[in-house]
Amino acid sequence: MAIQPVRLFGDPVLSTPAAPVVDYDKELRKLVQDLTETMLDAPGAGLAAPQIGVGLRVFVWDVDEELGHLINPTLDLSEDEQEGDEGCLSFPGLLYNTPRAMRVVAKGFNMFGDPITVEGSELLARAIQHETDHLDGILFIDRLDTNLRKEAMKAIRESEWFNESAPTIKVSPHSGPF
Give the contacts of 33 (CB within 8 A, at least 6 positions apart). Answer: 1
> Which residues does the annotation mark as catalytic?
131
What whole-number distance in Å separates Cα of residue 27 and Cα of residue 38? 16
Burial 8-43 (b: 16+ CB within 10 A, else e): bbebebbeeebbebeeeeeebeebbebbbbbbeeee
Residue 170: CB atoms within 10 Å: 11
- 176-to-28, 73, 122, 147, 153 alpha-carbon distances in Å: 12, 20, 35, 39, 32
Nearest to 131 by CA among 87, 178, 78, 85: 87
